[in-house]
Amino acid sequence: MEIDPLPNGTGSNAATTTTETTVTATLPTATSNTTPSSKLSQLTESLKLEHQFLCVPFEHYKKTIRANHRTAEKEVSAVISSVADIADSNEISKDDAVLSLTSLVSRLQGLKRKLEEGSRTENLQVQNCRARLNHLESVDAENLSEWNNVRFKRILVDYMLRMSYYDTARKLAESSKIEELVDLEVFQEAKKVVDALKNQEVGPALAWCAENKSRLKKSKSKFEFQLRLQEFIELVRAENYMRAILYARRYLAPWGATHLKELQLVMTTLAFRSNTECTKYKVLFEPKQWDFLVDQFKQEFYKLHGMTLEPLLNIYLQAGLSALKTPCCFEDGCTKEDPLSQENFRKLAMPLPYSKQHYSKLVCYITKELMDTENPPQVLPNGYVYSTKALKEMAEKNNGKITCPRTGLVCNYSDLVKAYIS
């Protein structure tokens, strides 16, 4: 979802009052009148959302360790097996034995280089984890503003990476010097798969599934099966029916025990073909199936790396919108100053419950102070409402004249009408 910028605010005549509630959780900013201790207590609560911040580099680190371990185990087993074969052979000559052992030494040297490279990668990832821990520990009352600014940039980079704005995310991270605090390298791995799927290629996605086979199996993922189905559909689309049948026997048949219905549905396309008008099978040949695979890959990728399924930006915005959402926010007369007057914010707030409000608060547009019996609202001839305090101050400075800050209407203070709230 792309976030549109908020307008400066030009209220309509129909909107004469503004309902405002206290936002208990919003995007972290540095411009707040809260005391440092209160800020720190709020920050402590919001740090509970930083699970992804530490989990992603740690999961990446564990993945590198497993890959290095598999490489070492495979190469050492092969060398030991070759040495045993040479030792057990009675017919091998001395020269052949020396040649074979020299080959094994070269292989071990190659393994040493791979392990050294893997060790360097592991050290970099450990440093990445340590940098993030230090960043979380560095927050205090003195640097809270700066720390929140860094955090806000991290959230923006995370959102850009998820929305596939990789170059923009990288430039923001580099200019802000927060490369160690964001997941550029992790998402670069995902970019290769996403780009391939958008080009209707399943090879990189299948390679990713093979690389993470055990973990995907543990989470009961259907992603590899969906990729195989799509590859079968493409063979049917190309009218390569014999190859499609052979492909199904080799790659789809093993899934029959757990996904028989989906398998039967897709196999029926051999009879209906790609030009069918039958809705049940026609949808299988539509291009949107590739978009579905992209979305499914992203979901599996996020799970595998311990990320939230929703971007952190959406989560923070929803935290604030949950305190602002009321039934009047979705009416045609909703003031444009209300964030929920924006379509994208409305989409974010749609699954959220309405905020619990025992009493509405009328807030003056000019002073941002409450309008009550001590400071009652006054109505201008154009229908806009402001507090008595603000209008009196304006009239005293302008010889009894009032200028509406929204429409520019000029009137006398005597033209105002007092509003009563029931």
Position 374 confidence tier, pLDDT thresholds 50, 70, 90? confident
151-187: pLDDT as tens digits: 999 999 999 999 989 999 999 999 999 998 999 988 9
Let me know whether 127 and 203 are in one domain.
no
* pLDDT tens per residue, range 134-147: 888 887 777 888 88
In a domain, 228, yes or no: yes
Task: Check residue 422 and give its pLDDT.
Answer: 61
Give a yes or no: residue 394 inside a domain: yes
Structure tokens at 89: 């052979």
- Do residues 198 and 296 both lie within one domain? yes
Mean pLDDT confidence for 288-307: 93
Separation CA 276–CA 89 (nearest Å): 63
In a domain, 124, yes or no: yes
Q: How does pLDDT run across 274-287, given as a tens digit for each residue?
A: 888 898 899 999 99
Residue 24 inside a domain? The answer is: no
Is the pLDDT assigned to residue 28 strictly greater than 70? no
379 shares its domain with 298: no
Count how many domains the chain has: 3
CA distance 157 to 138: 21
**Domain identity same for 370 and 300:** no
Residue 146 lies in a domain: no
**Same domain (yes/no): 96, 203:** no
Residue 121 token pair: 């990668």
User: Which tens digits make up the pLDDT trace of 312-337?
Assistant: 899 889 988 888 888 878 877 777 77
Q: What is the DSSP string of 26-64?
A: -S--S---S-HHHHHHHHHHHGGGGHHHHHHHHHHHHHH
Cα separation of 208 and 206, whole Å? Answer: 5
Residue 376 and residue 275 in one domain:
no
Looking at the structure, tell me whether residues 196 and 133 fall in a common domain: no
**Alpha-carbon dihedral 124, 130, 134, 137, rounded to 10 degrees:** 150
Which residue range(s) make up the domain with 296?
A: 189-304
Instruction: Examine the domain organization and report whether 194 and 264 are in the same domain.
Output: yes
In the numeric block, the tokens 């923001």 are attached to 172
Question: For residue 29, is pLDDT > 70?
Answer: no
Domain boundary among the residues 102, 137, 172 is at: 137
pLDDT of residue 5: 40
**pLDDT score recorded for residue 43:** 65
Q: What is the pLDDT of residues 340-363, one digit of tens each?
A: 888 888 899 998 888 876 667 788
What's the rounded Cα separation, in Å, for the pair 122 and 348?
Answer: 39
pLDDT tens digits for range 262-276:
999 999 999 888 888
| pLDDT tens figures, 116-130 | 988 888 888 888 889
Predicted pLDDT of residue 41:
67
- How far lies 144's CA from each of 30, 114, 149, 177, 332, in Å? 7, 43, 9, 18, 40
Residue 4 pLDDT exceeds 90: no
What is the dihedral sign for C-alpha 95, 99, 100, 102?
A: positive
Q: Confirm whether 324 is domain-assigned.
A: no
Q: pLDDT tier at 21 (50, 70, 90 boundaries)? A: very low
Q: Answer whether residue 289 is part of any domain.
A: yes
| Whether residue 299 sits in one domain with residue 195 | yes
The pTM (predicted TM-score) of the whole model is 0.67
Q: Which two tokens mark 82?
A: 């070759």
Structural domain contains residue 156? no
Q: Return the beta strands (E) in 205-294 as ranges.
A: none
State phi, psi for 385 to the nearest 5 degrees. Answer: -120, 135
Which domain-ending residue is among 257, 285, 304?
304
Say which CATH number the domain at 382 has: 3.30.40.10
Q: What is the pLDDT of residue 391?
A: 94
CA atoms of 244 and 238, how far apart (whole Å): 10
Q: Give the SS3 label for residue 386.
A: strand
How far is the C-alpha of 321 from the C-alpha of 248, rounded, in Å?
49
> 195: which 2 tokens?
């780009």
Among 259, 282, 304, residue at a domain's last position: 304
In this structure, the chain runs to a length of: 422
Question: What is the pLDDT at residue 291?
Answer: 94
